Amino acid sequence: MRMLIGRALLPRRGVIAGAATALVLALLPGCNLSVDNPDRVQDALLNDPGAHPAVVAGASLALSEAINWVAFFGGNAAQEFTEGGRIHPVKLPQDPGELTVNGIPDNAWNAAQQARWVAEDAVRRLRAAMGADFDSYDLGARALLYAAYANRLLGENMCEAVIDGGAPADHTVFLTRADSDFTAAIAVAKAAGDNTVATAATAGRASVRLLLGDDAAAVTDAAAVPTAFTFQATYGIESENYYNFIYWVNANQPYREISAAGTFYEQYYKDTGDPRVAWGTDAKVPNAEFTYVPWLFPLKYKARDTPINLSSGREMRLIEAEVALRGGDWQTAMSKINALRASLTSDKTGAPLAALPAASLTDAWTALKRERGIELWLEARRLGDERRWVEAKTPGAMEDVSGIVRLCFPIALGERRSNANVGTDHVDPRNPLYTGSLD
């Protein structure tokens, strides 16, 4: 049998209408290395255990692509960067930061839903093929892990949940699904002896349980993850579909679409030299595509294949700090925050980063909000943080988001048109701080 390279098309069902997922570079048993003309892959071939690595790789790729789009549009809305241009075919809104149905394309919604469907389908497929052996199947654990992260991405960033053509529901439906998949991934990974996946799933579950308000369980999970641990979405250089888009859209080849200019991170990096939010300049190219925007290009991602964090032990320490704040123990929270800072060396001074000051619970909440923004910069996480803190009316300062219609992605136009359970007249949730006119 030959090596098949292609794109297996998904059913045309509401959330995934017209979408295709790259599933394979599958080398089945007895294959040689000759390559067929790229085409669709027969569905039955993907049930063969020899194809399972490719099925899981497809789920990984779909998740990475979804993070690209959510980080791009969500980072703009969350004020993680300033729009610097509109040369790339997929453009940020003309009204910066506005997540409106007509203001943004369907890329983020479609890609994130596609990532969920592809990973969940991988789980179904592998479970059916392996039977009882699935419960200790390393690839099954990874498929569950990607399904969980895709649901977390949706739960953090989408205004509402829509599952495979169903009716709109609260966005926490995605988070509950993520919790279930993370839990299953932990069990299967441990049975398979895959400690990396088990730890990644534990970290992911900690983040979801924080969002769901299960503080005790979140802290228990977080405590099991070493501070040095990271699990990342991977990217490649084979084609633009595989690139780290946040890097590529700003690589001056020819795009210079984002800048740290005018954000919190511009002055903060000048003041502290915190390497987590480093940005650079080029004397030969001082401006972004818009000549009135200085080109302060982020240095977090330095190549087309630079990975993006999905979970880290450092985030776990911030989860522990936030739960301490919820309980009123701001001193413990600040100790955890400043321990993270002390572990990093300033690009400005060459010394450990200075501690953040706090003299009250409100000060500590401000520090926590800032530190999460710094630690998770450009990882498609900030918008979800802003929304949940606004909705919970937590104390402490952060970005002023009162002028933004919503702090989440609305149901996409294509979904509205193809899903009778939504419809084109569906009214999306709004930012409770926003008092302007409807979009």
Supply the pLDDT for residue 94.
85
The token duo for 435 is 């008092």
Name residue 252's amino acid. N
Supply the pLDDT for residue 15.
36
Supply the pLDDT for residue 10.
37
- Cα pseudo-dihedral 335, 339, 340, 342, rounded to 10: 140
The token duo for 1 is 């049998």
| DSSP designation for 309 | E
| Residue where the block lists tokens 């595989």 | 242
**Residue 12: is its pLDDT beyond 90?**
no
What global pTM score does this model have? 0.91
Q: What whole-number distance in Å separates Cα of residue 177 and Cα of residue 296?
A: 39
pLDDT tens digit sequence for 198-208: 999 999 999 99
Convert 248-284 to b/e letters by CB count within 10 Å (16 or more is b): bbbbeeebbbbbbbebbbbebbeebbbebbbbeeeee
pLDDT tens digit sequence for 356-410: 999 999 999 999 999 999 999 999 999 999 999 999 999 999 999 999 999 999 9
**Residue 330: is its pLDDT beyond 90?**
yes
**Which helix (H) or strand (E) segment is 156 a member of?**
helix 138-157
Instruction: Tell me the average pLDDT across 268-294.
Output: 98
**Residue 167: is its pLDDT beyond 80?**
yes
| DSSP designation for 412 | P
Ramachandran class of 213: left when φ > 0, alpha when ψ lies in -120 to 50, beta otherwise: left
Report the candidate in 397, 412, 405, 411 with the shortest Cα–Cα distance to residue 432: 405
**Residue 17: is its pLDDT beyond 90?**
no
Q: What whole-number distance in Å separates Cα of residue 59 and Cα of residue 357?
A: 43
Q: What are phi and psi of 160, to 5 degrees?
A: -140, 160
How much is the CA Rg of the chain, to the nearest whole Å?
Answer: 22
**Residue 33: is its pLDDT beyond 60?**
no
| Residue where the block lists tokens 């053509």 | 165
Q: What whole-number distance in Å separates Cα of residue 308 and Cα of residue 71?
A: 10
Contact present, 135 and 187 (Cβ < 8 Å): yes
**Torsion sign over Cα 329, 332, 337, 341:** positive
Strands 279-280 and 297-298: antiparallel
Q: Which comes out higher in pLDDT, residue 68 or 42?
A: 68
Q: What are phi and psi of 313, to 5 degrees?
A: -65, -30
Instruction: Tell me the average pLDDT across 321-344.
Output: 98
Q: What whole-number distance in Å separates Cα of residue 198 and Cα of residue 231?
A: 11
**Residue 285: is its pLDDT beyond 90?**
yes
Instruction: Tell me the average pLDDT across 98-125.
Output: 96
Chain mean pLDDT for the chain: 91
Residue 307 sits at the vertex; the CA angle it makes with 248 and 163, to the nearest 5 degrees, is 90
| DSSP designation for 305 | T
Q: What whole-number distance in Å separates Cα of residue 345 and Cα of residue 353?
A: 6
Angle, helix 361-375 to helix 313-326, in steps of 10 degrees: 160
**Residue 275: is its pLDDT beyond 70?**
yes
Q: What whole-number distance in Å separates Cα of residue 294 and Cα of residue 281?
A: 9
Supply the pLDDT for residue 435.
87
Instruction: Tell me the average pLDDT across 11-36.
Output: 37
Residues near 4 by Cβ (< 8 Å), separated by ≥ 6? Answer: 24, 26, 28, 36, 41, 45
Q: What percent of the chain has pLDDT over 70?
A: 90
Supply the pLDDT for residue 170.
97
Q: Which comes out higher in pLDDT, residue 19 or 109?
A: 109
Architecture of domain 4-237+306-418: Alpha Horseshoe (1.25)
Q: What whole-number distance in Å separates Cα of residue 171 and Cα of residue 173?
A: 5
Band of residue 50 on the pLDDT scale cut at 50, 70, 90: very high
